[in-house]
A and B are shown apart, each in its own frame.
Chain A
Amino acid sequence: MLELRGLSKHFGGVKALDGLDLSVREGEIFGLIGPNGSGKSTAINLICGVYAESAGTVRFSGQVMNGKAPHERLRAGIARTFQNIRLFPNLTVWQNLWVAQNSPRDVAAQGFLSRWFGATRRTRRELAELLELADLGHKGDELASNLAFGEQRRLEFARAAAARPRLLLLDEPAAGMSRQEIEDLGGRIRGLRDSGVTILLVEHVMELVMGVTEQIAVLNFGKKIAFGTPGEVQRNEAVQEAYLGTSASDSGAAGEGA
């Protein structure tokens, strides 16, 4: 479903991503891990079109995505969340989801007027369902900036889901979460996958990655150094070295990794 070939991004002299090859199959939860600065966020930004690649191709459902703007890629089915939450802080929770209803299905189902100036009953129902799923049912009229950290993460996740993606890119969705919230997040990720969404998970919290993913690729200095099932990756020596070679304590990643 997602094919990356020789994907590279150079920032001046820094090779943030250096010839990444990756295939994510439809319906799987795919993990992308690596020490800080190894190029994970860069990969996500290339896949969803925020950065233009220096070399290589991004292919999604057989279609080449190179040169397409982020909103076009979203409409093709690629949604994402951000490492540092990026909500619309002065919009209400409800509005944050409302503006994100941009899937071709939603566009086709609503006429121009009802899409921009009205809200059909179906829209309201669907947004209410999303709110419930995100455990924000009672917070619809709250400004996004007034939410607690965990709620903001859930809202961003729900906003991505509101676009009905076929592929969801999650950039460290568990960062800063409590153990309970992480468990909860694992459930949401699986739930979304079970409804047919393919997931690319970038994460430092190993218990989450090892718990939900089926395949994992490991990056170090912009290059893929390992690939396999969670078990295989955990036993891989190159991976253990990469994590021990960087400051293992601040990433909190090596715990289960090494």
Chain B
Amino acid sequence: MSYYLGLLQLIGVHTLLGLSAYVLMLTGQLSLGQAGFFAIGAYSAGILTVIFELPILPALLAGALIAAFFAFLVGFPALRVKGLMLVVATIAFSEFVRLFFFNLSWRVPRGDIHVGPDSTNGFREIRYFVANGWSAWEITTFVWIFVILVMAALWWMDRSRAGAVLRAVGEDELAAQSAGINLTAVKVTAMTAGGFIAGIGGALYAHTATYVDHLTFTVLLATFAISYPILGGLSSVFGTLVAVIFIQGVLVEGLRFLGDWRNIVFGLLIIAAMNLKPSGLFDARTTLLLRRSVGLGGRE
């Protein structure tokens, strides 16, 4: 049972990670910086519950806000680069963050041991849930409350004018500018929102895993982040959820026996999916069709 609950928690956390990339991809930005924001959320929230002994909720919120702040800062230089250059620049950011935490040592005495990030040895004892006697069920529910909140907020945003504006920027920046949309504001806001969501994901991850180190936040994690919305499509947040369940639940777990070959199969699958259905599993047309067929109409 606890194996499945653990998987459910992981799927929840990765859905948040995927959604953080989804928001950015709506504006046409492909970022591998999500691993960096996720790491910032994880370490910040962990430090707050472990070293400052804050309760989980304020720690999680603060972790998300700190990640959002860094995303905001990254958002401005990111405006000047597009496409592959943005991918490279954001990898550099994620790596910078990873190396920062690789070197971060901040140990404080707690009873007869020391706790806190211990550079290469990682950050252990992020034991808020265990220390407060949460059951695996309660932890899983806690994670999914945030997943559902974020999904609902994004789903609602998607059908509002804000969502249409993000998509307009993603479809044609020049036309969007000429229609009066402030590209800088829209892209930086999307980057900030993406950082916030990744930060929540990271904070939850650190506390469910109780242990993080710099190797948790490699380029592989950043690649996962973007492959969810790529595979799931940008028509709705549910595509990302379905993609996470498929990749984490079916591929990663189901193909565990393949060992390292798994990554190759994973790569091939992404390539195949992108070639067969470049707009993801559900494209705009399909969603509109589905929405109409259940009588919801197509408008906002």
A108 to B182, CA, bound (A): 16
The answer to whether B177 and A116 touch across the interface, beta carbons within 8 angstroms, is no
A interface residues, how many (CB within 8 angstroms): 38
A/B pair count, beta carbons within 8 Å: 101
The answer to whether A141 and B180 touch across the interface, beta carbons within 8 angstroms, is no
User: How close is B74's CB to chain A, nearest CB, in angstroms?
Assistant: 21
Given the known interface contacts A82-B175, A99-B176, A102-B179, the answer about A118 and B160 at a Cβ–Cβ threshold of 8 Å is yes
Shortest Cβ distance from A80 into B: residue: B178
The answer to whether A88 and B288 touch across the interface, beta carbons within 8 angstroms, is no
Residues of B278-300 contacting chain A, CB below 8 A: 284-285, 288, 292, 297-300
**What 0/1 readout, one digit per residue, does chain A (86-129) give for beta carbons within 8 Å of chain B?**
11111110111011101100000000000111110000000000
Among A14-22, A68-76, A218-226, the stretch in contact with B:
A68-76
Residues of A with C-beta under 8 A to B160:
116-118
The answer to whether A86 and B174 touch across the interface, beta carbons within 8 angstroms, is yes
8 contacts between A and B (CB under 8 A): A71-B178, A71-B183, A95-B168, A99-B176, A100-B179, A118-B161, A119-B161, A141-B292
The answer to whether B285 and A143 touch across the interface, beta carbons within 8 angstroms, is yes
The answer to whether A117 and B164 touch across the interface, beta carbons within 8 angstroms, is no
Q: A50-B178, A71-B183, A92-B298 are in contact. List 13 more A-B contacts (CB 8 A).
A: A48-B178, A50-B174, A69-B182, A71-B181, A79-B180, A88-B176, A98-B161, A99-B179, A116-B162, A119-B161, A143-B284, A162-B179, A163-B179
Residues of A with C-beta under 8 A to B299:
92, 94, 140-141
The answer to whether A99 and B284 touch across the interface, beta carbons within 8 angstroms, is no
Residues of B with C-beta under 8 A to A166:
none
A29 to B178, CA, bound (A): 21
The answer to whether A103 and B180 touch across the interface, beta carbons within 8 angstroms, is yes
Residues of B with C-beta under 8 A to A159:
179
A121 to B299, CA, bound (A): 14
Q: Say if the beta carbon of B53 comes within 8 Å of chain A.
A: no
Residues of A with C-beta under 8 A to B253:
none
Q: Is the interface of A mostly helix, strand, loop or mixed?
A: loop
A240 to B284, CA, bound (A): 49
Q: Say if the beta carbon of B171 comes within 8 Å of chain A.
A: yes
Shortest Cβ distance from B184 into A: residue: A69
The answer to whether A88 and B175 touch across the interface, beta carbons within 8 angstroms, is yes
Q: Say if the beta carbon of B157 comes within 8 Å of chain A.
A: yes
A116 to B157, CA, bound (A): 9
The answer to whether A70 and B178 touch across the interface, beta carbons within 8 angstroms, is yes
Residues of B with C-beta under 8 A to A100:
179-180
A115 to B157, CA, bound (A): 12
Given the known interface contacts A70-B177, A71-B180, A143-B288, the answer about A119 and B171 at a Cβ–Cβ threshold of 8 Å is no
Residues of B with C-beta under 8 A to A96:
168
Q: Say if the beta carbon of B14 comes within 8 Å of chain A.
A: no
Contact for B161 among A71, A82, A87, A117, CB less than 8 A? A117
Contact for A74 among B171, B178, B288, CB less than 8 A? B178
User: How close is A3's CB to chain B, nearest CB, in angstroms?
Assistant: 21
The answer to whether B284 and A90 touch across the interface, beta carbons within 8 angstroms, is yes
Residues of A109-166 contacting chain B, CB below 8 A: 115-119, 140-143, 159-160, 162-163
A157 to B180, CA, bound (A): 15
Q: Say if the beta carbon of B165 comes within 8 Å of chain A.
A: yes
A119 to B161, CA, bound (A): 8
The answer to whether B171 and A88 touch across the interface, beta carbons within 8 angstroms, is yes
Residues of A with C-beta under 8 A to B167:
88, 90-91, 95
**What 0/1 readout, one digit per residue, does chain B (150-192) give for beta carbons within 8 Å of chain A?**
0000001100111011011001101111111111000000000
